[in-house]
Amino acid sequence: MIDLSTRYLGLELASPLVASASPLTKRLDGVRALEDGGASAIVMHSLYEEEIAFDQQAHDHFLDFGSEAFAEALDYVPFPQTSPGPEQYLDLLREAKAAVDVPIIGSLNGDTPGGWTRYAGMIEEAGADALELNVFLLASDPDVAGADVEAHTLDVVREVCERTSIPVAVKISTFWSSILDVARRLDRAGADGLVLFNRFYQPDIDLEAFEVLPRLTLSTPESARIAVRWIGMLDGHVDADMALTSGVHDAEGALKGIAAGATVTMMTSQILKHGPGRFREIEADLRTWLEEKEYDSVAQLRGALSRRGSRDEEAFVRANYKATLDAWRPPSTRRGPIPGR
């Protein structure tokens, strides 16, 4: 029997397949469905700094997803598109904790040090097993230097870590000059986990309305590559556990993340499309692959292809930019010679 058990943020999980923050957790039946579907831990949707600051209904950051969701796959009425506010968030967290056996990870989203970070302590009191902190900082001021953005992020992380004694994972973006340096400083600032990477939802231009509009597109399996690369590079440089989020759609995606060094691999898009039952299907495929390759456990695979674990130490570092570009062939050449010509 393959051992899929995994230790993430000090929590013993039955498998590395975790539900990332999504609208599914805005209702208790969504939380239950994730556990029933096979998620080994559940990250709640985020409580936002601005919701706390103004204690009013905040606009959801993740609009427009309805058309791709799997609404018909479960008997749900549509998920609320706005978050109900801090007190309701804590109530839901308490209820979720009582309703399921898998660990519940609270989620806070903000980018300035300040009073709102006290909610880290409240999330702990409400029963969360750990906290995921999403520092959603888009550097939009040309007068603010990159070093200041980094210092600011670290201040938020330190403040949150001081306000809670449960493990804290930090969900980060790709937008740093040196991801390795920032990740190591977050690790030293107290982060027990790093969640790679935050997907920034790029606005789109609607030519008809002649407006810039928010637009959410769900991930594709290719979205995982950037995180897999940096997890592979970070393995061995940080003590924090690493979680892969973005582009995990099947067992292959999860296995690649683990081979690069991820402790857990998280899913939202795939679950929104096909329902929480995907966790069990992917778990079965993980077992089959590991069995076929004669692994006894998922732990054996972890980091086997990271920069430090692999025989080809420089594979993740080498951009191989020129070789990659040179390898491109026009589609007709790739298909081989056309018969009769």
Ligand X SMILES: Cc1cc2nc3c(=O)[nH]c(=O)nc-3n(C[C@H](O)[C@H](O)[C@H](O)COP(=O)(O)O)c2cc1C
- The site for ligand X (CB under 6 A) is made up of 20-23, 45-46, 62, 65, 107, 109, 134, 171, 199, 216, 218-219, 223, 245-248, 267-270
Shorter beta-carbon distance to ligand X: residue 112 or 297:
112
* Closer by beta carbon to ligand X, 24 or else 290: 24
CA dihedral 116, 18, 67, 57 (to 10 degrees): -20
Looking at residue 46, what DSSP letter applies? P
Nearer to ligand X, 153 or 307 (CB): 153
Check: CB of residue 183 under 8 Å from CB of residue 237. Answer: yes
Closest C-alpha among 203, 195, 71, 187 to residue 132: 195
Query: Which one-letter amino acid corresponds to residue 81?
Result: Q
Q: Which is nearer to ligand X, 263 or 270 (CB)?
A: 270
Closest distance of CB 106 from ligand X, Å: 11
Q: How far is the CB of 329 from ligand X (least distance, A)?
A: 29
C-alpha angle 259-262-265 in degrees, rounded to nearest 5: 105
Q: How far is the CB of 225 from ligand X (least distance, A)?
A: 12
**Integer Cα distance of 36 and 75 in angstroms:** 14
Q: Which lies closer to ligand X via its Cβ, residue 176 or residue 201? A: 201
Pairwise CA distance, residues 245 & 278, whole Å: 16
Q: What is the closest distance, in whole angstroms, from the C-beta atom of residue 178 to ligand X in the complex? A: 22
Give me the least distance between CB of 335 and ligand X, in Å please: 31
Query: In terms of CB distance, is 156 or 295 closer to ligand X?
Result: 156
Nearest distance, CB of residue 45 and ligand X, angstroms: 4
- Give the shortest CB-197-to-ligand X separation in angstroms: 8
Cα(304)–Cα(63) distance, integer angstroms: 38
For ligand X, give the closer residue by CB, 15 or 20: 20
The distance of Cα 45 from the centroid of its chain, to the nearest Å, equals 11
CB 176 within 8 A of CB 146: yes
SS3 134: strand
Which candidate, 30, 188, 52, places its Cα nearest to that of 107?
A: 52
Nearby residues of 14 by Cβ (< 8 Å), 6 or more positions away: 4, 5, 6, 40, 102
